[in-house]
Structure 1
Amino acid sequence: MSAAGACLTRTVLTACGRFESHPEPVAEIPSSVPPTPTLTTAKAVVRAMGRAGIGCETLRSRYCDGSSTADCVATVDGVKVENEISAFDPDVVSKTEIGKSTESRRSGAYAQTLVAAGNWYIRVMEPPSAPAIAKALHAVVPDAKGKGSKTPKYPLPHIPSTPAYKKVDDLADGLAASVGCFQRETTSTGSIKCETGKRGSGDSNCAVLTLHPTHARRDAALREAIKYRGVPAELVTVGSRTVNLCDTTLGAKVARDLGGGVVAYDGR
């Protein structure tokens, strides 16, 4: 494998610390991906987003033998969206290697939502925002592949519209009173991450609390969270608020205490 190819083999971090090493399939760039625009660096993609009216604040960037990445946060339709950009210099990295990298992101249980064109792609952490980003950049959203890429066929359960939590901090206070919410950290997209359980007990586990701008965005986020085969999921939701619990035994209690409903998937 070339040095550039070695840089393309990545380990993907999923929710709450789960890792999966993606395979290296032999693949070309998907035929649906337009050949242009060509942007040879992740920074060039960020600049293109800015020119298209989607300014993306760079959090970190890396370069490795013809390939580069950048993580940035943009606001799309009033929602903060974190994006992971990968770009490849076609004079250094072959189309086959770019195809392998793209395919590894689209395949398997942890298939990701991408916006792609030419020799670059963007992993969009908030899938509902992908079409708007693709349109602005004259790119496409390739269909995800693999069994884990399909939304479960069963519908979402009834979700209570009240009580209302105007701020994510209020939701965190409610969770704290129920099962604990300490070591709070506000993410780049405005969610709060915290630990459930008793501080110092050794039995803590993570939770992610999010206020979604609309019920449609909430539903899209719920379906994204429960779509992964082999990964159990337990979320409590009320109105447009969700609590994604890493400890899947806490859902019923948190829902009762917060006045919400449970959306769960057993991972099979």
Structure 2
Amino acid sequence: MKDRAASAAGACLALSALTALTACSRFESHPEPSGTAIPSIVPSKPTYTTAKAVVRAMGEAGLDCATVRSRDYDGSSTADCVATVDGVKVENEISVFDPDVVSKSEIGTSIESRRTGAYAQTLVAAGNWYIRVMDPPSAPAVAKALHAVVLDAKGNGSKTSKYPLPGIPSAPTYKKADVLADDLAASVGCFQRETTRTGSIKCETGKLGSGDSNCAVLTLHPTRARRDAALREAIKYRGVPAELVTAGNWTVSLCDTTLGAKAARDLGGVVVAYDGR
């Protein structure tokens, strides 16, 4: 009895961290918890026992995904990995659920919660698992590799036609994000630089030690279509203001919305902004 209670407690803790849901009632004599059904377009297979198995399946399909971290719980399994899709490094957050511990309605509720709200996510799903694809244009390639379907983000009030992009200059372009960071530094500052797993650079604007620093994310894009998709993804969230500067093959996302005009003028780009309403 003690072993069973410990197993139940472990499952509850894992699921709370992963999906903000609880499966504890599955270990008691209660009816199946109510929730949201898994979307009908989600195929019932393939299923996997661990997130690592999903990573292996991606590799076997020709989409190698380098694991950054992984963890197995009693009732669920997670992993983060980075794959290259059409020349773009894409981070994927994998969640796999044990059907003997987690009900279908709980998986469906978790899927629904991720696809809605201000920070709605694009998912790839099948069987007893789903993947948050951090670069939505890459989701179809991930879904194809795993014989799954794409579940687009919804409920954030976004429409591409509602947020048209301005005319974007074809130049300047950059071969290295570090050079873009140097130019941004000369304009509004870019210190404490950190290169992300997908090749973007994060830094702080303002002056070092001035106390007025704020974050910026600098990204190079392989095509104009990818650049435009990234811009539209950034400005589509209702209630979340966005300020970006762009031209050529790059974007700079600024946390300090007062710096956009100066950065655009100094770097030869234009501002793409959304006030969050």
TM-score (norm 2): 0.88
CA distance in structure 2 between the aligned counterparts of 1:107 and 1:5, rounded to whole angstroms: 24
Which of the residues 154, 159, 169 maps onto 1:145? 154
- 1:181 is displaced (CA, Å) by 0.3
Instruction: Select 2:111's aligned residue among 87, 102, 109.
Output: 102
Could you list the per-position Cα deviations for residues 98-135 of structure 1 after superposition, in whole angstroms to 9, with x for gaps in the alignment?
A: 11111111111111011100010110011110001101
In 2, distance between residues paired with 1:105 and 1:262?
29
Distance, in Å, in 2 between the alignment partners of 1:60 and 1:38 is 21
* Conserved 8 A contact 2:15-2:75: no
List aligned pairs for 1:213-252, cutoff 5 A: 213-252=222-261
Matched, 1:189 2:189: no
Cα distance change on mapping 1:249 and 1:10 into 2, 3 Å = farther
Distance apart, 1:169 and its partner CA: 0.8
Match status 1:175 vs 2:187: no
Unaligned runs of 5+ in 1: 13-20
Higher normalized helix content (fraction of residues):
2
Whole-angstrom CA distance in 1 between matches of 2:276 and 2:234 = 11
Moved more, 86-95 or 181-190: 86-95
Which letter maps to 2:68? Answer: L
Is 1:72–2:81 an aligned residue pair? Answer: yes
Is 1:55 the equivalent of 2:26? no
**Is 1:254 the equivalent of 2:263?**
yes
Amino acid at match of 1:7: A
Instruction: Name the aligned partner's letter for residue 225 of structure 1.
Output: A
SS of the residue corresponding to residue 43 of structure 2 reads: coil
Aligned to 1:118: 127
Q: Is the 8 A contact 2:163 2:236 kept in 1?
A: no
**1:153-172 CA-partner distances (Å, limit 9, x unpaired):** 13100001112222111100
Partner of 1:147, secondary structure, is coil
Partner of 1:8: 15
Q: CA deviation digits over 1:164-222, x for unaligned, max 9?
A: 22211110000000011000011111110000011111111110000000000000000
Asked if the contact 2:37/2:109 (under 8 Å) is kept, the reply is: yes
Residue of structure 1 in register with 2:26 after alignment: none
Instruction: Give me the whole-angstrom Cα distance separating, in 2, the residues matched to 1:117 and 1:6.
Output: 24
CA distance in 1, matches of 2:213, 2:161: 29
Give the TM-score taking structure 1 as reference length: 0.91
Let me know the Cα RMSD of the aligned residues: 2.0
Alpha-carbon separation, structure 2, partners of 1:11 and 1:223: 28
Partners in 2 of 1:11 and 1:242 — Cα distance?
31
In the alignment, which residue of structure 1 is the partner of 2:98?
A: 89
- State the alpha-carbon separation in 2 of the partners of residues 6 and 96 from structure 1: 18
Give secondary structure in 1 for the equivalent of 2:182: helix
Q: Structure 2: how far apart are the matches of 1:148 and 1:261?
A: 25
* Counterpart in the other structure of 2:141: 132
Do residues 203 (structure 1) and 208 (structure 2) align? Answer: no
- Quick one: distance in 2 between partners of 1:229 and 1:86? 26
Q: 1:18 maps to which residue? A: none
1:263 aligns with 2:272: yes
